[in-house]
Amino acid sequence: MIATAVENTKTAWLGEFPAHWEVLRIKNLFQEMDSRSETGNEELLSVSHYTGVTLKRESLENEDDYLTNAESLVGYKLVQQGDLVINIMLAWNGSLGISPHNGITSPAYCVYRIKGDNNPEYFGYLFTTNLFKAEFRRNSTGIIDSRLRLYSDKFFSIFTVVPPKNEQDEIVQYIKAQEEKINRFIEKKQRFIELLKEQRQCVVGAVIKNGTNPKVKFKETGISWLGKIPKHWGICRLKDCGTYKSGDNITSEQIEPIGEYPVYGGNGLRGYFDNYTHDGDFALIGRQGALCGNINYAHGKFWASEHAVVVTLNQGIELYWFGETLKVMNLNQYSQQHNQEFLLIELGLYICLSRHLMNKNKLYHT
């Protein structure tokens, strides 16, 4: 039998549901927790609408970010496995989840613990549905999306459907089984994509070093990684291709999942910020750690973090030719000689590359 909540204007948005399910306010299901860390030594947790609650260090560009912020973690909220953690500024966007870990989270977030004989994972899935995100938005306080806040009193006042515990468990297990199937499918597709990327890189690598004319005559460069290049090409040092400057400092707490200007680090897009450091088309080179030597591109207005070297190319050098050439060079292999801690501008003093211009998909040689 199907029941409906249309009789009550406060629960009409729930629509239809099994008649034997209850309708309760969230305050009857969760209690707010506000215990604080006295040492800051616990695992720092992150909340995202993409991944739920995860270990913060798994999303950082390098371990130094995590260690640098250690002193500021005193006073962060303690989280137990099974707690519901909500970024109240982005609850309307689904930035919440049931924590699979013990740890700590930002004091700006809210931590809730399930009451009674209920499965918190069921509500973790339920609260990320479009139905509940819309209700969270209606109950959030603020003028624009980036300023909305879902405070605990409003959160607790919201009604939700509550199946019997055994059905909650069954629903959770069904969702997990389906997720596992989907993840296996994604893994297979990702492997296929990786193979296509490898094939693409082989094609790019051959053209970067040899050009597109199969009848061209070659000459030796005396550079180990480069070998032979077309006879009419020249070479120059990386440092002569443009200027190289590290981006500006920005903390992980300042970076939001949505916002006006993208933030780029050593591994590409990290999130968004309300200000920018650059405007235009640039190549970005990962500056430190395991991401040293990564190549990305940024366009328009964006913030470059300190983990990226922004390359401003000299006139006459095409952006994508330059970036793809650096990918072929595999700059990370050189960083390992320096314990993965150095500025790539220094590397430019020693590494040479073939140089030709690319414009509107046509090659011009110098």
Domain assignments of the chain as residue spans, ordered by start = 2-163, 211-365
Class of domain 2-163: alpha beta
Domains 2-163 and 211-365 share a fold: yes
Helix, strand, coil percentages for the chain (3-state, nearest 5): 35, 30, 35
Q: Which residues contact 134 (CB under 8 A, 6 or more apart)?
A: 13, 92
Q: What is the largest CA-CA distance in the chain?
A: 84
Cα separation, 261 vs 250, whole angstroms: 13
Cα separation, 253 vs 290, whole angstroms: 22
pTM of the model: 0.61
**DSSP H or E segment with residue 191:** helix 165-210
Mean per-residue pLDDT pooled into runs of 10, the chain (366 residues): 60 91 97 95 92 83 43 89 96 95 95 97 97 95 82 97 97 96 92 86 72 80 76 78 90 84 91 94 85 88 93 88 83 57 41 38 33
pLDDT at 366: 32
pLDDT at 68: 42
pLDDT at 61: 44
pLDDT at 85: 98
pLDDT at 132: 96
What would the two tokens of residue 56 be? 């913060």
User: End-to-end alpha-carbon separation of the chain, Å?
Assistant: 78
pLDDT at 46: 92
- As a CATH number, domain 211-365 is 3.90.220.20
